[in-house]
A and B are shown apart, each in its own frame.
Chain A
Amino acid sequence: MQAFTQLNGLVVPLDRSNVDTDAIIPKQFLKSIKRSGFGPNAFDEWRYLDHGEPGMDNSKRKINPDFVLNQARYQGGSVLLARENFGCGSSREHAPWALEDYGFRAIIAPSFADIFFNNCFKNGMLPIVLSADDVDALFKETQSAEGYKLNIDLSTQTISTPSGKTYKFEVDAFRKHCLLNGLDDIGLTMQHQDAIKAFETKHRAAQPWLFN
């Protein structure tokens, strides 16, 4: 997994609440058996005017000029600013894969759906929860200043704005550690092999029917 330490990134404001994983990556792209290449189809139904299918040449499709990702000023964005309950709906990890493949490394919102939030960390992306008021203020600043960038520092858990304002954010200590060091969960869990085996023996004795 790629590590996340610091990011100075252009902010893309996606001003909708309850953005679901079906919107982030529509189901037809879930037929892929790979975990890369989803970026061109992130937000497919909003981003293009025609219906997208896997295998299409996306560069030839008609884009929706009104959608924020298609606006010239937001090209190259790596920080997604969103509204509440971002990433609700299905557990598809294709959603963070698509966002990461597109180039996003951090997402800021007042709240996230649980599974999506979890999935972000597994893919080197940092989801950040700020209060609805703070998010609102960031929306206003992003929309009023072209080229608006935020500086995100995971080690100090801070976001700083161009005008020098800083926001503190919370992050679970274990997840922070993994993200800062780019650690793979499986490797870490394997360090507890003996504990897992011991637990399994005890569990089998107590509930043998689980092991039939």
Chain B
Amino acid sequence: MSAKTLYDKLFDSHVVTEENGTALIYIDRHLVHEVTSPQAFEGLRLAGRKPWRKDSIVATADHNTPTNGWEKGLDGIADPISRIQIETLDSNIKEFGAKAYFPFMDKGQGIVHVMGPEQGATLPGMTVVCGDSHTSTHGAFGALAHGIGTSEVEHVMATQCLVQKKSKSMLVRVDGKLGNSVTAKDVALAIIGKIGTAGGTGYAVEFGGSVIRALSMEGRMTLCNMAIEAGARAGMVAVDDATINYVKGRPYAPKADQWDAAVAYWRTLVSDDGAEFDATVVLNGDDIQPQVTWGTSPEMVVGIDGKVPDPASESDATKKCSMERALQYMGLKANTPMSEISIDKVFIGSCTNSRIEDLRAAASVAKGKKIAGNVKLALVVPGSGLVKAQAEAEGLDKVFKEAGFEWREPGCSMCLAMNADRLESGERCASTSNRNFEGRQGLGGRTHLVSPEMAAAAAIAGHFVDVRSFN
């Protein structure tokens, strides 16, 4: 048998039928949240259908949920339309069922891509879908994870399958070793800076190389999370000890009697020696600096010691035009050193960077310091109730609060500003989230994507600063 990539193994082992290159693949785990599911449940109801396997469904509310005022319960949701959406999820889960549900204010509530792995609801070898593009996060476990639209959410609920064409495969190999305070987020942004936001379109990307092997599971999740920002259909990392150690003992992980068999299978979830990829991209980890985006697309990124680029030096007319538009929107002048850009707000959170390791890293920078006078608001939003509890057990909440940060309840929050947490027009934010699109964090808001350490350092300094020389 010829050598297979990890992607081949995951895809091929889930094919139910295949005709002319279009396959039906079986879905093991369906993660559900309040924004992209109501129309799917409604579709089932109208057609008189039931979920094919309700035990594949794990649900939570995250996008609309407020991050403060929880003492008021549902009444704390100021926006009546958001409240209806959250209540609709409650009633849909009640009607259709699920394996697990972490409703608003449950201690297991959290951003769907933080909640799934920490509950052991995401396992190696699974196919995972969710009506959310950042479902690629779960690929960190050697799983095949796709973000899908609402019609597909309904389709998976009704049939347990997804119609898929096999993608091309890409290996992104990061060799060498990362420097101090250079994180998975910086690796992700450096990759996107290199291949572009459409560089991965049509590909399933496997991340490999010594840098990836040395990353924690949190770091791998950050990296796979951003695979979608490179346009990839899925991102994934091969299974190793780190994967297995992370999964062990989680609430929905296999129990003792099945554990050894599961691990034996999971160990096979690596690309075979000699497996061929349709494309390979190589980066050297030693060269990666802490990254900061300057524009309105994640590919508009430079190292912290860099400058805002000059559109005048771009020869491609379309690119030049989008650079000019980005600079105008961002209120930046070409050639400004990144470290001279001052900020108004800081957001540490999102499915990219709100896990315990992220909060620890940010807290270690903030410890014993105070946020700068020009920073109007610095928010720390843990990814889930469990992350929050863990952080509080370690005293991280105190570190943040003493430094002047606000410590909030879990949810998506200012990553997309569907709840009350947002930027006002013209405000500039150092954000650990994943998208710096126009208006993403609030109409007219200006987002710069960075790692948690870099966000914390910017909060203290009041402007972007190289966290490696910051103390």
Contact = CB atoms under 8 A, between A and B. Distances in A.
A196 interface: yes
B246 interface: no
B148 A115 contact: yes
Contact of B437 (A17, A83, A89): A89
Given A18-B297, A209-B254, A31 B85 contact: yes
Contact of B155 (A92, A185, A211): A185
B150 A93 contact: yes
B161 A189 contact: yes
Interface string A190-203: 10100110011001
A172 B322 contact: no
Contacts of B28: 210
Given A16-B322, A122-B152, A89 B435 contact: yes
Contact of B198 (A54, A55, A111, A192): A111
A33 interface: yes
Interface string B428-443: 0000000101111001
Interface in B250-300: 252-255, 258, 261-262, 265, 297
B224 interface: no
Contacts of B85: 31, 33
Contacts of B49: 186
B66 interface: no
Top 9 nearest A-B pairs (CB, nearest first) are A209-B254, A122-B151, A33-B38, A93-B149, A119-B149, A93-B150, A91-B133, A31-B81, A85-B198
B81 A119 contact: no
Contacts of B159: 186, 189-190, 196
Contact of A172 (B16, B165, B254, B258): B165
Nearest to A208: B258
Contacts, number: 179
Interface residues of A, number: 58
B147 interface: yes
A189 B26 contact: no
A27 B36 contact: no
Given A16-B322, A51-B443, A91-B131, A30 B35 contact: yes
Interface stretch (B17-25, B180-188, B306-314, B398-406): B17-25
B39 A34 contact: yes
Contacts of A93: 36, 39, 131, 149-151
A173 interface: yes
A122 B131 CA distance: 14
A40 B130 CA distance: 27
B84 interface: yes
Contact of A212 (B198, B252, B322, B438): B252
A186 B173 CA distance: 38
Q: Which of A20, A91, A92 has the most CB of B within 10 A?
A: A91
A31 B418 contact: yes
Contacts of B88: 33
A189 B49 CA distance: 13
Q: Which of A16, A32, A199 has the most CB of B within 10 A?
A: A199
Nearest to B438: A23
A147 interface: no
A195 B20 contact: no
A186 B440 contact: no
B201 A111 contact: yes
